[in-house]
């Protein structure tokens, strides 16, 4: 005999958990943090493990755990699950509204409007408030029994709330995969080397039709109810919107965007509003569903063929269409990244005509196995850049050649490079490549590089557009007459710029190396290279073995350096910069004891904006400091970034000097 206290506690836990589910999924207003919810669920699970005879089918713990099926059994729908007629224009909606008004002999009709979710239609059968069966729509007459999988979806109640529900009710709705869940699932698929899903609808359908409910349980599925089928033991409310509020009170999730609108004018306004916010909604929608709100009018209108006369779906412009890939071009971005671009047979998709689509990088081309001449499916959602989501292999003719990104830059002819663990292929001619010219000059002149005061982004754009500079070395050949002729450039500002350029010629080796904009060479790495090799010539001539011997230099940095200085164009620009007078003091290698922070022990905690933790560590070690992972009485300084944690608290307790990021950067520069 089980102690009554145990059964009372189980009932209490189930009621509380179900209440929290209602607040979270139906009201969209969580009333406890996830940790508290997990604590309650764990407590219930532990009690049920001790007393398995007390487990009931509607317990919140019974979402997962069923034995995988060999196949799905068929379910006959007692009330047909009908499809909807479609409207593709305002005129179609006008015709629908006119037919409704004429049939019911009323001038202005109220419609229940809601987003048309792009998911999988589902029928949920509840007897005495308990979920006993779930089925897919199938062909409208016959669906598949997916009860075990549906039970894994937290947004679907296993037991209805309250007491006033009918003895039998069939709730109909849509199983969807939210956009955020879809993106996360596809990232996981790619990490596992598996094929990603094409869109949330396919992902939802594929997840729900798993023979193993345990797999379905891992998928981020959700649910919205939109109506009822079979019902016994209750008189229906007078309006569809009232019925939906009833479902909500019983624990069913309804779409928060649902609204009752008046006449065609109200329908059009709702359509425009949802079309505008479509891309910001958490779920994919492909249109709006309008239903005559008055149940009496619905009964008068009846059905035609396999669709109700009292409802219609107004579709948004298609976001996916099929077209032909004519060719693949290469664009070189301002940072040197090579991006493959698909040239398409123009196609109307997502409300605009699309003739180009991004292919991102070589990995994406390989994943899609896309080739010139292929028939492809193009997707465009809102302002998102159009992209190819799949290739229709059945339409491929012959054996078209695979596409590979080129070994040389199509703009300047420099070698291209792609390094381990990086998806992007980039041009190595950063100082010479026309595509990268403006960005290279802006970086070269920036405060942390050569610090050319007065050379802002707009002026750089002007100088390049006017053809006055082609490489960073050309900056030092500018004269007063050229600058004065530029728009919005006076004599005083021109003279100030020339003076700043002259002043910038005196720099440091580390600043100069950083100013060249070599891929993955930041300020700290440039400083480390300068301290180690002592001269530019040594850095330029270093082989892989010598570079890997430098602290904070790994295989990728080493390869970047060697590739950069292997390019004749880059060497020529560096030599031109030296010839115009750029110079720096000779570096004399100091012993460890002579370095300014010799013997000092630092701890770095939290997130630094200007550099990573490893960069900060390398910078300190370059100056002779020791960097520790823990705070002790021997610690001299603790460098604190954002969200520092317990190390900062411990340092305060021990009276250790604490440096914020600004103070730390100042110390390094001094």
Residues 323-371 pLDDT 10s: 999 999 998 887 788 989 999 999 888 777 889 998 988 988 998 999 9
Q: What is the DSSP string of 296-364?
A: HHHHHH-EETTEETTEEEEEPPPSEEEEEEEEEEEEE-TTSEEEEEEEEEEEEETTEEEEEEE--SHHH
Residue 389: what pLDDT? 85
CA-angle at 393, arms to 387 and 397, nearest 5°: 110
Among residues 106, 116, 395, 506, the one annotated as catalytic is 116
Task: State the alpha helices, DSSP H only, in 474-535.
Answer: 480-484, 491-504, 509-515, 523-533
Average pLDDT over residues 642-670: 85
Which of 109-123, 317-331, 430-444, 560-574: highest mean pLDDT?
109-123
Is 4 in the active site? no
Average pLDDT over residues 576-580: 94
Closest CA to 117 of 249, 261, 313, 317: 313
Three-class secondary structure of residue 239 per DSSP: strand
Residue 225: what pLDDT? 96
Residue 439: what pLDDT? 86
Average pLDDT over residues 584-610: 81
Average pLDDT over residues 605-624: 79
What are 449-476's pLDDT values in tens digits? Answer: 999 998 988 898 899 888 999 989 999 9
- The Cα–Cα gap between 100 and 291 comes to 11
- The Cα–Cα gap between 362 and 404 comes to 7
Task: For the domain made up of 592-669, give the CATH fold.
Answer: Rossmann fold (3.40.50)
Scored b (16 or more CB within 10 A) or e, 115-134 reads bbbbbbbbbbbbeebebeeb
Question: For residues 265 and 211, is the Cβ–Cβ distance under 8 A?
Answer: no
Q: How many helices (H) and strands (E) does the chain have?
A: 24, 24
Residue 334: what pLDDT? 73
Q: Which architecture does CATH list for 108-263+281-291?
A: 2-Layer Sandwich (3.30)
List, in sequence order, every beta strand (DSSP E) within 523-577. Answer: none
- Give span(s): CATH 2.40.50.140, the chain: 320-395
Closest CA to 262 of 109, 73, 74: 109
Tokens 């891309």 belong to 279
Strand partners, 328: 342
Q: What is the DSSP string of 138-176?
A: TTSSEEEB-HHHHTT-TTS-SB--SS-S-SEEEEEEEEE
Please, what is the average pLDDT of the chain? 87
Task: For the domain made up of 320-395, give the CATH fold.
Answer: OB fold (Dihydrolipoamide Acetyltransferase, E2P) (2.40.50)
Structure token pair of residue 667:
């110390």
Question: For residues 291 and 311, is the Cβ–Cβ distance under 8 A?
Answer: yes
- The Cα–Cα gap between 193 and 186 comes to 10
Q: Which architecture does CATH list for 406-587?
A: Orthogonal Bundle (1.10)
- The Cα–Cα gap between 251 and 246 comes to 9
**Over 60: is that where the pLDDT of 382 sits?**
no
Question: For residues 404 and 362, is the Cβ–Cβ distance under 8 A?
Answer: yes
Question: How much of the chain, in percent, has pLDDT values that exceed 90?
Answer: 38
- The Cα–Cα gap between 272 and 261 comes to 13
- Give span(s): CATH 3.40.50.10190, the chain: 592-669
Burial of 622 (C-beta count, 10 Å sphere; 0-12/13-18/19+): buried
Compute how many other C-beta atoms are within 10 angstroms of the C-beta atom of residue 95.
Answer: 14
Residue 666: what pLDDT? 84
Q: pLDDT grade, residue 593 (50/70/90)? A: low
**Over 80: is that where the pLDDT of 87 sits?**
yes
Residue 578: what pLDDT? 94
Q: Phi-psi bin for 294: left (phi > 0), alpha (psi -120 to 50), beta? A: beta
**Over 70: is that where the pLDDT of 396 sits?**
yes
**Over 90: is that where the pLDDT of 65 sits?**
no
- Give span(s): CATH 1.10.150.20, the chain: 406-587
Q: Which positions ≥6 away from 46 have C-beta within 8 Å? A: none
**Over 60: is that where the pLDDT of 608 sits?**
yes
Domain 4-54, CATH number (from 1.10.10.60, 3.90.1150.10, 1.10.287.610, 1.10.150.80): 1.10.287.610
Rg over CA atoms, the chain: 33
Residue 591: what pLDDT? 67
Tokens 């728009």 belong to 487
Which range (36-50, 178-192, 286-300, 306-320) has the least confidence? Answer: 36-50
Average pLDDT over residues 519-532: 84
């Amino acid at each position: 005999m089980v102690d009554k206290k145990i059964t009372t506690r189980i009932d209490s836990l189930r009621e509380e958990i179900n209440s929290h589910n209602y607040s979270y999924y139906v009201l969209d207003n969580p009333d406890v943090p996830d940790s508290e919810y997990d604590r309650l669920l764990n407590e219930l699970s532990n009690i049920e493990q001790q007393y398995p005879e007390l487990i009931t089918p509607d317990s919140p713990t019974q979402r997962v755990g069923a034995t995988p099926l060999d196949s799905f059994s068929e379910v006959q729908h007692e009330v047909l699950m009908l499809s909807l007629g479609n409207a593709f224009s305002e005129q179609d909606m006008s015709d629908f509204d006119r037919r409704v008004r004429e049939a019911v002999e009323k001038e202005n009709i109220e419609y229940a409007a809601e987003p048309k979710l792009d998911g999988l239609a589902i029928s949920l059968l509840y007897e005495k408030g308990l979920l006993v069966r779930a089925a897919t729509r199938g062909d409208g007459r016959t669906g598949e029994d997916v009860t075990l999988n549906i039970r894994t979806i937290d947004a679907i109640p296993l037991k209805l709330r309250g007491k006033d529900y009918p003895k039998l009710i069939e709730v109909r709705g849509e199983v969807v995969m939210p956009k955020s869940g879809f993106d996360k699932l596809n990232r996981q698929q790619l990490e596992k080397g598996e094929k990603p899903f094409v869109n949330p609808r396919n992902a939802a359908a594929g997840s729900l039709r798993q023979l193993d409910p345990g797999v379905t349980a891992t998928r981020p599925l959700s649910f919205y109810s939109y109506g009822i089928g079979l019902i016994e033991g209750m008189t229906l409310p007078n309006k569809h919107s009232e019925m939906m509020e009833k479902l909500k009170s019983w624990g069913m999730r309804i779409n928060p965007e649902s609204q009752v609108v008046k006449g065609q004018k109200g329908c059009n306004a709702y359509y425009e509003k949802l079309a505008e916010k479509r891309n910001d909604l958490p779920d994919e929608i492909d249109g709006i569903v309008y239903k005559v709100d008055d149940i009496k009018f619905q009964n008068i209108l009846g059905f035609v063929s396999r669709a109700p006369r009292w409802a219609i779906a107004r579709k948004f412009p298609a976001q996916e269409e099929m077209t032909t890939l004519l060719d693949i071009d290469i664009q070189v971005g301002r940072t040197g990244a090579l991006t493959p671009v698909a040239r398409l047979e123009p196609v109307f998709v997502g409300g605009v005509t699309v003739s180009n689509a991004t292919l991102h990088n070589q990995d994406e081309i390989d994943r899609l196995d896309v080739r010139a001449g292929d028939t492809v499916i193009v997707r465009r959602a809102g302002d998102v850049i159009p992209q190819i989501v799949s290739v229709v292999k059945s339409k491929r003719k012959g054996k078209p050649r695979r596409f590979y990104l080129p070994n040389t830059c199509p703009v300047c002819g420099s070698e291209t490079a792609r390094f381990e663990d990086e998806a992007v292929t980039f041009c190595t001619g950063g100082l010479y490549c026309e595509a990268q010219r403006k960005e290279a000059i802006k970086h070269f002149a920036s405060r942390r590089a050569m610090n050319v005061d007065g050379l802002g982004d707009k002026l750089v754009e002007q100088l390049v557009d006017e053809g006055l500079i082609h490489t960073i070395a050309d900056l030092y050949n500018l004269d007063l007459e050229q600058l004065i002729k530029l728009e919005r450039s006076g004599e005083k500002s021109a003279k100030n710029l020339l003076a700043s350029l002259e002043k910038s010629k005196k720099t440091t080796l580390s600043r100069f190396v950083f100013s060249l904009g070599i891929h993955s060479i930041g300020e700290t790495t440039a400083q480390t290279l300068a301290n180690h090799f002592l001269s530019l010539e040594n850095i330029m001539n270093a082989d892989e073995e010598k570079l890997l011997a430098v602290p904070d230099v790994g295989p990728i940095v080493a390869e970047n350096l060697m590739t950069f200085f292997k390019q004749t164009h880059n060497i020529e620009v560096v030599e031109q910069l030296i010839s115009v007078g750029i110079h720096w003091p000779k570096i004399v290698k100091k012993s460890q004891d002579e370095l300014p922070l010799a013997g000092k022990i630092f701890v770095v905690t939290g997130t630094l904006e200007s550099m990573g933790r490893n960069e900060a560590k390398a910078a300190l070690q370059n100056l002779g400091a020791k960097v520790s992972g823990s705070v002790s009485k021997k610690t001299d300084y603790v460098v604190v970034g954002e969200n520092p944690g317990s190390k900062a608290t411990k340092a305060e307790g021990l009276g250790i000097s604490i440096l914020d990021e600004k103070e730390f950067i100042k110390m390094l520069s001094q």
